[in-house]
Chain A
Amino acid sequence: MAEPLVAVRGLSKSFGGLRATDRVDLDVEDGETHAIIGPNGAGKTTLIGQLAGDLRPDAGTTRFAGQDVTSLDAPARSRLGLARSFQITSIFPDFSALDNVALAVQAHSGSSFRFWRPARAERELREPALAVLDGVGLGARADVLAATLAHGEQRQLEIAMALATRPRLLLLDEPVAGMGLEETQRMVRLLSTLKRRLTIVLVEHDMDAVFTLADRISVMVYGRIIATGSPEGVRSNAEVRRAYLGEGTPP
């Protein structure tokens, strides 16, 4: 069996006395959609931050695509093919939707120490950006200022920016949080089309979305992964039911 795309070993991070992640081991296989669920404060977002390279671990290693990336920061990991969305929508609000995506293309297309030619006139930035924007269903909104897009559209824009970097791994931190039913369904359909083309790590509280999308699920409680398995296996795991699913969301 080939090496997993992501191999995390013993990853720990404390904030003061709080152990946000506690010796986490996690394998994400190439091509799978791997959901991470758990109650609030379980350390899911910290784990995403560590995978993305925004947070330095206190201990442990992260390997990505066969390479030790533990000491690499977020921009370096992005260039290796790791893309993310944030829990709280993170876009360039004073740029148009198209320019948001074009910037993501630019970051992965040659040097940005270019001082003369207007970036807007560069077809090699504009055309891929338009294609990606079309792909997530925002083609008609290309010239709209990102700040004025609806919440759901901004989340789609974030996915478009991630895709524009042509990633191998997509880290999604609560992609349907705060969305209405219709917006949620649209996002889940979008993510379904990305499954298999990409490896996805998905942190989400919406259990319908998780059980629709995930190939495997890991359950995180108090900074530790207490179970990993197929959706059916996790659904029937007694410890998981007690720790999490029993708390309100019926499986």
Chain B
Amino acid sequence: MAISRRAIVLAAGAVLLALVPPVAGLLNQPFYVDLFRRMMIFAIAALSLDLILGYGGMVSFGHAAYLGIGAYAVGILAFYGVDNGFLQWSVAVAASAVAALVIGAISIRTSGVYFIMITLAFTQMLYYLGISLETYGGDNGMPLRTRSQFAGLVDLRNPSAFYYLVLALLVLFLVLGRRLVDARFGRVIRAARSNEPRARAIGFSPFRYKLAAFVLAGGACGLAGALLANQTEYLTPDFMHWTRSGEIMFMVILGGMGTLFGPVLGAVVLLGLEDVLSALTEHWQIILGPFLVVVVLFAKRGLFGLVEGEVPRDG
């Protein structure tokens, strides 16, 4: 039965992720804690994009903007000596949400190629803004003075503690996201993606719901940005480069759009392959490229569709 198979896949995934720090410890390979933490941070970014891309049908080609805003919020506050994580991360989420509100309010009035181009343009603006901020390192970026402080609750300098915090946040976002897409709100954005004129004819004004989803996704990705700044302990405008937006979108498509769990798998597989292949050859992208093409061509519902098996699509 498909539902139980999904449950098994998800439980296995959660257990495997939870086992990474002890196993890495046993193997004396602390590097893997770092790698998998990075995967989960991008998984949060990718699942936030899936909300608007997979469920809302909004092909945002600028999701890295919120990653950058979240990271810079943490970095700039730390630069001025504000190390309190609660404050830093709240600012990261709020600033990203406000940016998403502005970008969304303008771009959601368009659709198709125009929507893609406008979201891309805004992100490029932010990228060049980052480059021009000489105080914060310009295009070289700057190191994070210190990881966010949580008043003794969690110590992010402890790799495992940081790891489990990221895992907990990932699970939290998966649960929240799952509830949201099945609740009234999620059904409206899915209906608008399915057939917008019909949604309008039965009395929905899709704009406000799509904008709200855009803002939620931006805020969630902002938190991923705050995590990423702590992960790399360095921030650079490259976080907002358009290739980064493309990478996040690829995680979503590779894993399976409109599934929330798929993008998590997509992030793990993409970053994992990058790590394995780049150790083999300098030209690892020559191997990665065809692999991605094959998945997109032959797995309609992405990798998650393959692991999960056939599930009838339902409303």
On A, residues with C-beta under 8 Å from B are 52, 54, 73-76, 78-79, 83-84, 86, 90-96, 99-100, 103-104, 106-108, 111-120, 122, 145, 161-162, 164-165
Contacts and interface: CB of A to CB of B under 8 A. Distances in A.
B203 A145 contact: no
A75 B204 contact: yes
Interface residues of B, number: 29
B202 A115 contact: no
Contacts of A83: 201-202
Contacts of B185: 112-115
Contact of B184 (A86, A90, A119): A119
B315 A92 contact: yes
Interface stretch (B72-80, B187-195, B220-228, B234-242): B187-195
Contacts of A94: 194, 313, 315
A99 B194 CA distance: 12
Nearest to A106: B184
Interface of B, secondary structure class, is helix
Interface in B173-190: 176, 179-180, 182-188, 190
B203 A116 contact: no
A95 B203 contact: no
Interface of B: 176, 179-180, 182-188, 190-191, 194-195, 197-205, 209, 212, 312-315
B204 A115 contact: no
A118 B183 contact: yes
A165 B176 CA distance: 30
B201 A95 contact: no
B197 A161 contact: no
B197 A145 contact: no
A120 B181 CA distance: 11
A74 B315 contact: no
Contacts of A120: 182
The 10 closest A-B pairs by CB, nearest first: A95-B315, A99-B315, A78-B203, A107-B203, A104-B202, A114-B184, A75-B205, A118-B182, A92-B194, A112-B184
A145 B313 CA distance: 8
- Most A CB within 10 A of own CB, among B190, B205, B315: B315
